[in-house]
Every structure is written in structure tokens, then in C-alpha cells.
Amino acid sequence: MLLGTQHINDRGHLEIGGCDTAELAEQFGTPLYVMDEQAVRDNCRRYVTAFAEAYPGESKVTYAGKAFLIQAMARLIDEEGLGLDVASAGELHTALTAGFPAERILMHGNNKSDAELAMGLDAGIGRFVVDNFFELRRLSAMAVARGKRQPILIRVTPGIDPKTHRRIRTGQEDTKFGINISEGSALAAVTEALRDLPGVELTGIHCHIGSQLLDPHTHEQAIEVMCAFLAEIKKTTGFTVADLDIGGGLGVRYLESQDPPSYEEFAKLIVGRLLSELKKHDLPLPRLWQEPGRTLVAEAGTTLYTIGHTKRVLLPDAPGERFYVSVDGGMSDNPRPQLYDAVYSAMVANRAGQPKDKTVTIAGKHCETDILIWDLPLGDTDAGDLLAVQTTGAYNQAMASNYNRFTRPAVVFVRNGTADVVVERETLDDVIRQDRLPARLRK
């Protein structure tokens, strides 16, 4: 499963962006996040083009920064002409300090603080995605105090329960996100925004049903519900919604057996259903907003580890033994196997073409049973070999921690044979930088 610009070079090494992974590991150390910059750019362009060609109205693609957001990524997204959605003061600060245009930023969050609302208002961001009545009223009051009228989308829950892990489902009614359509709360929020809140300008409706969705038909169901809601808004209030944001969630390949639809297939399916539902309800074409995250960056990321010792365990049942291959990272640089039962593919990067005729279990080095990959066909391994775990560009670096006081890995962008450090590896002094010793505990 070679992804993006990956290939096996004449030394038998995995190469990404024209850079030999063995040389990357030697130069920058491991664990190391390697981002295939050209693959990210190609994904952005293909996604934008797929919907621009399929949809006769205006299409806006906004990258979901929660998947992977550093200053270099914000610059890349700006250069590719996408918008950016953020969900915290930290993500907003990252975008603004990287020079990302505030007017192309959407701000999410189910419990935005006054400080975050103020930060977005003062920066002049393009849209707030309002998640609840409390935020709606507070945002209006704060905008009025600044002499502003802030454009907003209202996030609603369409009542769609997608087929994905329970911790990344967000479109069902029983969720912390958004305002429910079925009980009438969403319509009440729209009505209040239009009639009673001078500080906000309602431009549209937003929904997001979940993440890592390999079956796009749940998106079709959401569009059906959302278009019916747009018709109800128009009938009840006379207001025609200009912006329809259907979120993101398109899945990616973590395993060779997974087969998500291509961007082009996804665009045709989504647009086809949207046009049909708009015609049924006699509605004009809205601006179609989307928030792809994982699908743009996940397959572009590879994490490199150095292999340490291997432990053989005898089992009473077939196959009779298990080989635990330990690496120099684990749940501090990739918590997703523990959080979401996530699965991954991998190869021995310094002999990438070898037969995968030996099954091993990849173990992290934390004081936990932090198994990265169970029962992985990998082939022979020796201490000092380099393990490359595929599809780690989304929610790995973003969720990394200092558990066991580990230092977080460096990030490099690779493209056309050049590797640039875009996040420095933390040092041990970085780990203790915020620690403080009161006088009574000082030696």
C-alpha cells in the first residue's frame, strides 16, 4: 500500500517526497512524523476540482484544522485557496500568526469561551459556527458591544447515526454537538437569530455527521434532512438560507482492504442528491460548504520508528506464538488505537520490498499496554530497523502528548527531494518548561 509519492527506491528503502526514509531517520531522529507535502497539495486540488465540476452553484472547501494544524499547514492551505475551520483559541492563534486570512476562517466549538468569541470577533473571522442558544445570544451581545454584525452558521443535528466508531459519531440526536432539528429547537434558534439578535447575521446551516465514513450514503441521508429543514425555514420565516455546510467525514485507507469512494465519486453522489432534494422543495442553489480534514492529510502522513527488542510469547492456541516488536514511540505520539480501536498498515522502511511472511504485534514503549498494531504481517525485523506506519497524517501529531514525560516528535515536510523541519522535536527541557517548584520544595 504505497500512498502519495511513496515508492521503493533502488536501495530497497521506502522513499517519500523524493527523500529516503532511512536518511530522514538518521538526520532527524525517531519517532518522526513525515508529511508528504505534494500529496496534501494534490488532495486539496482534486477535492476542490471535484466539487467545482460537479456542482453548478458556488462550492467552498474549508479544511478541518483539528486533523492536523501547525503554522506550515496553515500556510499550505492558504496557498491552495481553501478556507480553514478552527475549534479553539490555540487553533485560531496558529492560523492568525501564520498569516492565514481571517475572513476565510470558520470557528467551531460546542462551548466557546468569552475569550474565544472575543478573539474571533476582533480578528474578523468569516463565520462562527454557533452550537447552542447560550453561544448565540452571547455572541450577538458581544458583537453589538463592538458595533459589529457577525456572520454565522447554526450547527444542527440531523438525527443521522453513521456507521463508524461510537466516539466519532456526531450527527445523531444524542450528542453534545449542535441543536436538534426533530424537536423544533433548531427552527427556534433560526427564528431567534433572524428576529431578535441584532449582533448576528445568519447566512446558513451546518451539520456534521461523523468521521472516517467509508459509506457515503449517510451523507445523502443528511442532505435529505437538511434540505427539508431549509424548506421549513423558508416556509416558517420567509428566509432563504444562503449557505449549506455539510461538514466532512469522508474516510481514508488505513488498510489495503478499505476502499473509500474517490473525491470524484463522492462529489457526484453528494451533488446528485443535493440537486434532487433542492428541486423537490423548490429551493435555489445554496453555497455548498464542506469541511474535509482527515481525507486531505491522513494518507499523506507516515510515522517512522526505530525497532528495539522482540519478545516471543508461547500461546496455547494457534498460531502457538506471538512476537512483540517494540518501537521507540507509542500512545504519546499516536493515541488512536487506544481511543478508537484504530488499525494501521506498516512496513520495514529500510527493506520495504521484503516479503511480509511473518506476523508480529507492534508494541509501544510506554508504561501501558500500548499496542500500536496487533497481528501485523510484516516479515523479519532486527533491532535498529526502521518501521514506517502508514496513514498517520490525521489526529496523530494533533493528539500527541507528553505521557510518561515523553518528548513529542518532530514533523518534517518532504517534497521534491527536500525535507524541512516544520515542528522541532521537543527536548527534555521543553517537557519541564512549565513546571514550577514552590520555595518549600526546593532543595
Catalytic residues: 367
Q: Which helix (H) or strand (E) holds 314?
A: strand 301-314
Peptide linkage before 31 cis (omega within 30 of 0) = yes
Nine-digit cell string for 269: 453522489
Determine contact, residues 33/409, Cβ cutoff 8 Å: yes
Q: Residue 150 pairs with which residues in a beta bridge?
A: 200
* Helix residue spans in 55-101 (DSSP H): 71-79, 89-97
Please state the separation of Cα 303 from the chain's center in Å: 16
| Residues sharing a CB contact under 8 Å with residue 279, sequence separation 6 or more, in sequence order | none
Angle formed at CA 334 by CA 330 and CA 338, multiple of 5 degrees: 85
Nine-digit cell string for 286: 445554496
What does DSSP assign to residue 216?
T
| DSSP-derived 3-state class of residue 237 | helix
| DSSP-derived 3-state class of residue 411 | strand
- Please give the Cα distance from 37 to 301 (Å, whole number): 9
Burial 334-353 (b: 16+ CB within 10 A, else e): bbbbbebebebbbbbbbbbe
Determine contact, residues 41/297, Cβ cutoff 8 Å: no
- Please give the Cα distance from 340 to 358 (Å, whole number): 26
Angle formed at CA 425 by CA 424 and CA 429, multiple of 5 degrees: 110
